[in-house]
Amino acid sequence: MASNISLLLLFSYITTILHFIIFTFAQSDNYIIHMNLSAMPKAFSNQHSWYHSTLSQVTTANNNLNSPSSKIIYTYTNVMNGFSANLSPQDHESLKNSPGYISSMPDLPLKLDTTHSPQFLGLNPYKGAWPASEYGKDIIVGVIDTGVWPESESFKDDGMTEIPSKWKGQLCQFDNSNNSSLCNKKLIGARFFNKGFLAKYSNLSTTITNTTRDVDGHGTHTSTTAAGSKVDGASFFGYANGTARGIASLSRLAIYKNAWGKNGDAVSSDVIAAIDAAISDGVDVLSISLGDNNVSLYEDAIAIATFAAMEKGVIVSTSAGNNGASFKSLHNGTPWVITVAAGTMDREFHGNITLGNGVSLTGLSSYIGNFSASNFPVVFMGKCDNVEELKKVKSNIVVCEDNSGIVTAQISNLVEAKVVGGVFISNMPNIYDLDNIFPSIIIDQINGEIVKAYIKSYTSKNSSSIASMSFKKTIFGAKASPKVDSYSSRGPSYSCPYVLKPDITAPGTSILAAWPPNIPVLEYGTKVYNKFNVLSGTSMSCPHVAGVAALLKGVHPDWSPAAIRSAMMTTSDILDNTKQPIKDIGNDNKDATPLALGAGHVNPNRALDPGLVYDVGVQDYVNLLCALNFTQQNITAITRTPFNDCSKPSLDLNYPSFITFIDAGNSSVRTTHEFRRTVTNVGEGQSTYFASITPIKGFNISVVPNKLVFNKKNRKISFKLKIEGQKVTQKNKVSFGYLTWKDSKHVVRSPVVVTTPDFNL
C-alpha cells in the first residue's frame, strides 16, 4: 500500500514538472494588449518607452535572448492605446498583473469578406436590413452618371431571378447598337443621352461615341457602390482587400449615361431626359451624383425632373457636392430629394516605419508599389524645403516636419531629390496629401517625436540611425469615426434655405468599387490599371444612401419617398465609435453641425423600424413653392401644371428637421419662431411618445404637446415647436440641438438649427 502511495506521489511530482516545462517553453504567440494610458507614470516620455519597460518586467529568463523591444510588434497610439507583442504563455500571464493592463486578445487571422462600407453601416446577413429586404431583391436602382462597364464582375447575375414585370425599359445601348447581350438580370437597362450635349458642343461630336459604355469610370464606381454584385478578391493594389459588394447587392441596375468627355460634362437637357426615361422604365430609386450650384429650383434640371419622380414614388438620392466647408456651398438642396454629405470610415490605409531599435510605428500611406526599404539610413531634414540638400541624402529615408502641415510641396522635393522614401510628421494627417507612386508615410506628432528622438540619439554618438519601411496595410477600427470629411459641401441650401440640408451623411471617403479595366486608376507618367478603384467624394456617399433606400423600399413598398427619407434621418447616428459627437474635419475636428452632418450618419438597420415618420405630400411641396414667392410660371416649371393651389402658402414643410434664421443685430431684441409638424405612427398600434429637447444656449425651445399617444398604426398627430431667444451679433454662427421623441422601443430624433446667415433670404 505504501509502495502504491509513493508511486502516486512520484507520478504527481513528474506531472507537475512536465506541466511547468510545457508552460515555460511553449511556443510564443502574438497578442494585442490594451493599456490604460492614464496609468502611465510621468517618468516616461512616451507610450512606447512605458510599454517597453512594462514588457521588460515580465520577460522570462528563458526568453532573455530577445529584448523587450524585439518582442513589440506595433505601438498603437491612434486606433487604441496599447501594443502588440510576441509572448510566451508565461509572459502573457505575467503581463496581466502589470499596472495599466486592461485586456488582451490573440492576434487571430482574419477572413476578409467585404470592402467594408456595408459592414461599417452595420449590415450583416443574419439580421436587419439585408435579410429583411433579401438584399434589395427586385428593387430597381437607376443611376444617372457616366455610363457603365458591363463586363465587370460586379454586374454578374449569378443566382438572380427573372427581371420583375414592373420593368418597362427596352433598350440596352452599347457600341452604336442596341446590344442587349451585354445586359442581364442584374444590369437590366443601359441608355445614353447626349443630344443636348452635342447640340451645345458640336465641335466635340467627333470625340463622342454613341454608347452607354463608361469611358470615365465614375458611373461604374457609383452604380456598383449602390447595388453591385458580390465579387471576391477585390483590392486596390493590396489595400482594402476583400469581397466587394454593393449596399443592395440583389437589386437590379438601370444605367442612364448623360455625362461625356474626360471631365464627365453634362447638360440639363440630357439630365432631364435621362430622369424622364428612368421614370417611364419603372425604377424605384435614383442615384444622381451630380448637380449645379447657385441655381433656383425652377432652373435646376435635377429639381425639376425629380419632382416628377417623387410624384411617381421614386426615391431620389443626390450628392451634396464637393465644394468644401464653406457656409452655403451645397448643391442639390432640393426639398423632395435626399441630399447626402460624405464621411469617413474606420478603415485606413497604412504603412510602417520600423526603427533600428525595433520600434515599429504606423501611419497613413497609399503607396501601391512593391518596393520595401530595409535598413536604410534615416535622417531628419526639417521642412525638407531645400532640394539641393535633400539630394545629398538621396540614399536615405528622409523625415520631414512642417508646422503648417503642408505635405504636397515636401513630397515634390523628395521625389525630385530621388530619396529612398519619405516620412512626414503632421499635426493633421491626411492621406490625400500623399503620392501613390512615392514610398511615403504620414505619422502624427506623437510618433514623430519618437522618430526624431531615435535619430538624435544616434547623431549624438556619431553613428548612423537606420530604418525600414513597409506598405499595403489595411487597418480597421480607426478612431474616431465617422467624421464629416473636409470636401463635403455644407448647408444651408441656396435654392431653399428654409429646409435644412444636407439630410444625412454616408461613407464617401476611400470607397472601393468596380472600375473599367482599360481606364487608368492612376496616371503619373506611367498609366496604372486595375479592376477596382478607390475614390472619395459625395459622389460616393450618394449611392450608399440609394442602396439603403432600395433596402428600405424592399421592406416597406408602400412607404413614400418622404417617409423613407424620414426613416433614415430620424434613426441616424450622431455619435462616433468613441461615443462622442461626430466631428467635422473641415472645421478643425469640432463637433459637426447639422449644416455639415445633416440629421446624422445613416444607420440602415435602425431605419427599418423608425417608429414615427414625417411624411410629405405633393401639395405640401406646392405650398412651399408658393411661399418662396415664385410666380405661377416658376411653379409650373417644376410641377408641370398651371393649376397650382397657392391658397395655403407655407415655408414650414413637414420635414424631420428644423432651421430658423436670425438676423445678426441688436442682442436686446427677442425673436420667436414656431414650427408645426405632423408625425405618422408606423410602429406598434398602441404607443406613447415623450419629447425631450437638447438645449441651445441663449434660446428657449418648447414643444406642445410633449406627449403623443397613438392608439393605432398609421395614425397622425400634430405638434408645435417654438424657439424663443435673443438676437446675436456674430454672423454665420450656427447653434443646434435636437428634438427627440421616445417610446419604449424607438428614438425619433430631429436636428434643430438656429443660425445667423451672412446672406439675404
Residues 264-309: pLDDT tens digits?
788 888 888 889 999 999 999 999 998 888 889 988 888 988 999 9
Q: Give the mean model confidence (pLDDT) for residues 234-249.
A: 92
In a shared domain, residues 640 and 665: no
Q: Is 112 within a domain?
A: no
Residue 269: exposure state from Cβ atoms within 10 A (0-12, 13-18, ≥19): middle
Give the count of alpha carbons within 13 A of 498, CB side only: 16
Q: Is 111 within a domain?
A: no
In a shared domain, residues 201 and 314: yes
> Which one of the listed residues 223, 287, 465, 539 is annotated catalytic?
539
Burial 338-364 (b: 16+ CB within 10 A, else e): bbbbbbbbbbbbbbbbbbbbbbbbbbb
Give percent above pLDDT 70 in the chain.
88
pLDDT tens digits for range 334-388: 999 999 999 999 999 999 999 999 899 999 998 988 877 788 999 999 999 999 9
Number of domains in the chain: 5
Number of H helices, E strands in the chain: 19, 38
Annotated catalytic residue 145:
yes
Q: Is 610 within a domain?
A: no
> Which one of the listed residues 218, 350, 544, 556 is annotated catalytic?
218
Q: How many CB atoms lie within 10 A of CB 521?
A: 21
In a shared domain, residues 194 and 331: yes
Residue 134 has pLDDT above 70, yes or no: yes
In a shared domain, residues 569 and 711: no
Cell of 78: 491612434
- Rg value, the chain, Cα: 29
Could you say which of 41, 71, 106 is where a domain stops?
106
Alpha-carbon distance of 496 to 634, in angstroms, equals 14
CATH number, domain of 150, equals: 3.40.50.200
In a shared domain, residues 237 and 282: yes
> Which one of the listed residues 91, 138, 145, 346 is annotated catalytic?
145
Q: Is 672 within a domain?
A: yes
Query: Given this model, what pLDDT does residue 83 score?
Result: 80
Could you say which of 585, 605, 625 is where a domain stops?
605
Q: pTM for the full model? A: 0.83
**Ramachandran region, residue 694 (left: φ > 0; alpha: ψ -120 to 50; beta: rest):** beta
Mean pLDDT of the chain: 87
pLDDT tens digits for range 571-620: 999 999 999 999 999 999 999 999 999 999 999 999 999 999 999 999 99
Query: Given this model, what pLDDT does residue 424 score?
Result: 94
Contact 122, 241 (CB under 8 A): no
Could you say which of 106, 136, 171 is where a domain stops?
106
In a shared domain, residues 665 and 623: no
Q: Is 113 within a domain?
A: no
Question: CA–CA distance from 398 to each of 178, 450, 464 (Å)?
Answer: 56, 15, 13
Contact 336, 427 (CB under 8 A): no
527-530 contacts, C-beta under 8 A, 24 or more apart: 528/368, 530/236, 530/237
Beta-strand ranges (E) seen in 508-564 are 511-514, 522-524, 526-528, 532-535
Alpha-carbon distance of 350 to 364, in angstroms, equals 4
In a shared domain, residues 153 and 267: yes
In a shared domain, residues 55 and 127: no
Q: Which domain holds residue 632?
A: 617-650
In a shared domain, residues 666 and 571: no
Q: Is 581 within a domain?
A: yes
Contact 380, 465 (CB under 8 A): no
In a shared domain, residues 150 and 264: yes
Q: Is 693 within a domain?
A: yes
Query: Given this model, what pLDDT does residue 667 score?
Result: 59
Beta-strand ranges (E) seen in 201-314 are 231-236, 239-244, 252-257, 285-288
Contact 164, 170 (CB under 8 A): no
Cell of 500: 435644412
Q: Is 260 within a domain?
A: yes
Annotated catalytic residue 539:
yes
CATH number, domain of 406, equals: 3.50.30.30
Residue with more model confidence, 559 or 432: 559
Annotated catalytic residue 601:
no
Q: Name the residue type at position 216.
A: D
In a shared domain, residues 247 and 259: yes
- Please provide the distance, in angstroms rounded to a whole number, between the alpha carbons at the two ends of the chain: 103
Residue 202 has pLDDT above 90, yes or no: no
In a shared domain, residues 418 and 490: no
